[in-house]
Chains A and B, each alone.
With several copies, the nearest count.
Chain A
Amino acid sequence: MSEPDCLSILDVPRIRADFPVLGREVRPGVPLVYLDSTATSQKPKQVLDVLTNFYRAHNANVHRGIYTLAEEATAAYEEARAKVAAFIGASSPEEIVFVRNATEAINLVAYSWGRANLKEGDLVLLTELEHHANLVPWQMLAAERGIRLEFVPVTPDGALDMEALPELLALEPKLVAVSGMSNVTGFQPDVKSIARAAHDAGALVLVDGAQLVPHAPVDVQELGVDFLGFSSHKMLGPTGVGVLYARRDLLEAMPPFLGGGDMIRWVKLREFATNDIPYKFEAGTPPIAEAVALGAAVDYLRSIGMEKIHAYEQALAEYVLPRLQEVPGLHVLGTTLERRGAVFSFWMDDIHAHDVSQVLDYYGIAVRAGHHCAQPLHTKFGVTATARASFYIYNTPDEADRLIAALYKVKEKFG
């Protein structure tokens, strides 16, 4: 992939103009090259405008008020829910629960569905690719309830070992919980095939969509996903809000998770009845303005088109990966170009990831260093920490060139 080929897919300069932070200099004369969208994305002014306009003109609490502002706020909040539902192909807005982030979405499933449906000895099948968000909640349940955990192995090139799947599914897991895209290797598992096989084996399917939803078209019905969790802040929206999608019949059968206002139908001193879905799972004042702004982020992404975004990032991956691999002594964790996003975790011989990231920062390049909340995956590859450069719609091949150039400087400095 060449630079111009990439840029024929997406009008990146025009997109960049929407993101105020991209005009920033890290130090006088050193412009920001933001390559950490996997941790959190930047926000376009269209999203910030909706966010502040909500507070400046319509702010009120939702669902109960009869006055003008409250009705406007409620309508905006519910409209955001409908936008999110349409964005991921849910069959109705009631299948969308607003939570804080992908992490809470998965915990909600573990606490509510998990504690109601899993008993000692039951199996939850995970993968070695998983982010801590899709490991720790199940470990907690294993410690509390004695459920068992098994893991689909990762291949040396950072993909999932699909050949191991049938054997693992033969153990009859109750749930298969898998990342839709690794935040380390960028690998995008074939969720549709996994879901079909899992369903055939009698398991439900949870997808950790924290990376998938911002970077690829998602249709939960067509993929056959039962639960999907993702975060607004990784898809151009604000922090403080995330989404749990779950199939209506599952949500209806699940017991409540957090108790309080709005999730109830009625309350007496010693008992309560739960509200209808999705409100049953939204206790207390929700992240109202954040959800409304997430709706604006969805609008923005749709106006570009998720197919295009996905294609652009695949093209970027083809551009970046070989160039990275040319840097002497640099090893990429995740070397497949099939089914991958533009995320590159790497380590350099004899140079700690912290030092790599620090030197890159000197050149204005923001990359993350650490285990990226996927410590078992790093352990598997025998490294404690990697540096990670991740690209989104506002990043250019030129920025990749700057990254590569700076990596040669790192080598020089520490060589």
Chain B
Amino acid sequence: MEDLYREQILDRYKAPRHRGHLEDYDIAYEDDNPTCGDHIRIELKVQDGRVVDARFDGQGCAISQASADLLLDEVIGKPIEEVKQISKDDLLEILGITLGPVRLKCALLSLKVLKAGVYGLGA
């Protein structure tokens, strides 16, 4: 547990910084993990090719929700081209934990949603 539920993750789960909705956004996308019911929606505000603000909403396990919150830390302020470069490994490094196959899906749901959004699947 020490390894999996690091303070950071429980923290972000209980008191997320980026949970909520934007009044006005340029990109939004949502998806879920039907097996366990994890759900994530991400909204991005983009100006001059740069993400100026972002929010997520959703429900699910601590890993999936904390991962979304930590991911948005990374995203906010970055040019959209750099956001596109964020990899699975980057996110796992931010999370700082080793995950089994099932939990990996939880952790990566937010990234999957983000990517689908920035690659133009969202509106």
Contacts and interface: CB of A to CB of B under 8 A. Distances in A.
Interface string A121-159: 000000000000000000000000000000000000000
A71 B102 CA distance: 8
24 contacts: A63-B101, A66-B100, A71-B101, A74-B100, A265-B34, A266-B34, A352-B38, A352-B60, A352-B61, A353-B61, A354-B36, A354-B61, A354-B62, A354-B63, A354-B103, A355-B61, A358-B4, A358-B61, A358-B63, A359-B1, A359-B5, A370-B36, A385-B37, A414-B62
Contacts of B34: 265-266
Interface string B50-85: 000000000111110000000000000000000000
Contacts of A15: none
B22 interface: no
A358 B36 contact: no
Given A355-B5, A362-B4, 18 more contacts: A63-B102, A65-B102, A66-B102, A66-B103, A70-B102, A74-B102, A78-B101, A265-B34, A353-B61, A355-B62, A359-B1, A362-B1, A370-B35, A370-B36, A371-B35, A371-B37, A384-B36, A413-B5
B38 to A, nearest CB: 8
B10 interface: yes
A327 interface: no
Contacts of A384: 36-37
Interface of A: 63-66, 70-71, 74-75, 78, 265-266, 352-355, 358-359, 362, 369-371, 384-385, 413-414
Contacts of B60: 352, 354
A58 B36 CA distance: 24
Contacts of A78: 101
A66 B63 CA distance: 13
Contacts of B44: none
Interface string B95-114: 00000111100100000000
Given A71-B100, A71-B102, A385 B36 contact: yes
A409 to B, nearest CB: 9
Contacts, number: 67
Contacts of A266: 34
Contacts of A65: 102
Contact of A352 (B5, B35, B62, B100): B62
Contacts of B100: 66, 71, 74-75
A369 B105 CA distance: 14
Contacts of B61: 352-355, 358
A225 B60 CA distance: 41
A413 B101 contact: no
Contacts of B14: 414
Which among B35, B36, B61, B101 has the highest number of chain A CB atoms within 10 Å? Answer: B35
Nearest to A75: B101
Contact of A414 (B10, B59, B101): B10
Nearest to A384: B37
Given A71-B102, A78-B101, A353 B36 contact: yes
B10 A369 contact: no
A242 B61 CA distance: 35
Contacts of A64: 35, 102
Contacts of B101: 63, 71, 74-75, 78
A413 B106 CA distance: 19
A58 to B, nearest CB: 13
Contacts of B103: 66, 354, 358
Contacts of A362: 1, 4
A34 B60 CA distance: 25
A352 B36 CA distance: 9
B2 to A, nearest CB: 8
Which among A63, A355, A362, A413 has the highest number of chain B CB atoms within 10 Å? Answer: A355
Contacts of A75: 100-101
Given A71-B102, A353-B36, A370-B35, A413 B4 contact: no
